[in-house]
Amino acid sequence: MSRALSAVRASMPRGVPLSQAIGRPTASQLASLGTVLCLYRADSNELAGWQEAVSAHACQGLDSEGVRESLCFTDARGRCCWRLYLLPDSDFLAWDRLVAGLAIRPAGSDDASVGERLWRRLAGSLGGQRWRMCAVQLHAVEQGSGLAASLAPLSSLGSATARRIARLESADGTADSPPSAMHA
């Protein structure tokens, strides 16, 4: 464990999971969200980002097509490794409870212009940073410390929202892509 994580652990009361101490939601909190759209790196599977994540923050944005809310999970190097999007099929109250405990950043919160952000997205795609997506229901397993995913059906509004997010994120896959049988 790194010195920084040891310091965080030392400052927390006994019995608090390290994932909560550094701002990563628990498996039980994620399972309460209902159906969400999961974006994950194309070179991994749906839950690999959960395993790599050391922290999370909420992103909120507004564009010409509506509001977008997501949870962005970052790895030890500060790179986004997993993202969950709120859908019309999600549990909004559970989402609000979870987001209340996280830092909130505007979607695209860096100071770059629209053109600069598009250029970075293109460069990331060409450099192998591709994203895949699927609609999932997350499940807490192993007494709440592990996470599993199962395919979740979407309403017509949920499917339309998932297609819009896929277009904005340049993600591959469909909202109906089955998740791999993986537990994290």
Distance (Å, whole) CA 53 – CA 47: 10
Using CA atoms, how far residue 174 sits from 91, 123, 134, in Å, is: 21, 23, 6
pTM: 0.74
What average pLDDT does range 160-175 have in this prediction? 80
Residue type, 179: P
Residue 23 included in any domain = no
Q: 54 lies in a domain?
A: yes
User: Across 6-10, 129-133, 148-152, which has the greatest mean pLDDT?
Assistant: 148-152
For residue 122, the model assigns a pLDDT of: 59
- Residues 6 or more apart whose Cβ sits within 8 Å of residue 172: 42, 130, 131, 132, 133, 166
Give domain status of residue 149, yes or no: yes
Q: Which two tokens stand for residue 151?
A: 């395919």
Is 165 a domain residue?
yes
Q: How many domains does the chain have?
A: 1
Residue 70 banded pLDDT, cuts 50, 70, 90: very high
**pLDDT value at residue 148:** 93
- First-to-final CA distance of the chain: 19
Q: Is residue 13 part of a domain?
A: no
Per residue in 100-148, pLDDT tens? 988 877 665 444 455 555 654 555 555 556 789 999 999 999 876 789 9
Q: Give the residue numbers spanning the domain of 149.
A: 29-172
In a domain, 89, yes or no: yes
Using the predicted structure, report yes or no on whether residue 32 has a pLDDT greater than 80.
yes
- Is 7 domain-assigned? no
168 inside domain = yes
The whole-chain average pLDDT of the chain stands at 75
* 138 close to 33: Cβ distance less than 8 angstroms: yes
